[in-house]
Amino acid sequence: TQLSDGERKFLQHRVARFGLFAGVCFGFFYLYRLILTLFVSVHAVADPSMMSHLAAVGVLIAAGLICRHGTLSVTVIRTVETAAVLGAAAATIVMGSYLPLGVHPQYILVIALTYVLMARSLYVPSTGRRTFVLAVITGVMLVGGVYVAFLRLDVEVWKTLYPGLEGAPANAVSLA
């Protein structure tokens, strides 16, 4: 559907504000992690989870800055919005895949990605179909990322933490 010039400006303004707001929120969580990480080791700042978290911040803020100035077509605005949501989701999933399994990265990812998708769906004018498609793509990426993260599960470590698992087959432990 065609948008009037006023509707296009409104969409561009909302995508810009969404990108900046989500980027700043992700940035606050990054700073929180950075402060805690510096207490452990300066070298941990270069950990892939930290770098991918920073990448998610950068993607969202870049989208906000791109849409903040100038006159962009609806196609460009929607492309920037899609790239921001899916790029931030991908970077966040990579972040989660490097977190220790004991901190339950799957929950962290579900919460972070739910907030991004919820903020986008509430603030950026869009069709239900578009929101659904973005959520499904993000969900598929999330399931794949969590699966890959749990491939590195060390069953022997979990058996020492939970003695009741002793003697259970490896595939039963990984599903527990």
Segment (H or E) for 119: helix 105-123
Q: Is 119 exposed, middle or buried (0-12, 13-18, 19+ CB in 10 A)?
A: middle
DSSP conformational letter for 163: G
Lowest mean pLDDT among 35-49, 92-106, 128-142, 160-174: 160-174
Distance CA 92, CA 130 (A): 21
For 17, phi then psi, to 5°, come to -65, -40
Average pLDDT (5-23) is: 96
Distance CA 172, CA 16 (A): 47
Q: Is 152 exposed, middle or buried (0-12, 13-18, 19+ CB in 10 A)?
A: exposed
Largest CA distance in the chain: 68
Segment (H or E) for 30: helix 5-40
How many beta carbons lie within 10 A of that of residue 101, not counting itself? Answer: 14
pLDDT of residue 170: 58
The token duo for 94 is: 């990579």
Lowest mean pLDDT among 20-29, 76-85, 145-154: 145-154
User: What are the tens digits of pLDDT across the range 31-51?
Assistant: 999 999 888 888 888 889 999
pLDDT of residue 176: 47
User: What are the tens digits of pLDDT across the range 87-123?
Assistant: 999 999 999 999 888 888 999 999 999 999 999 999 9
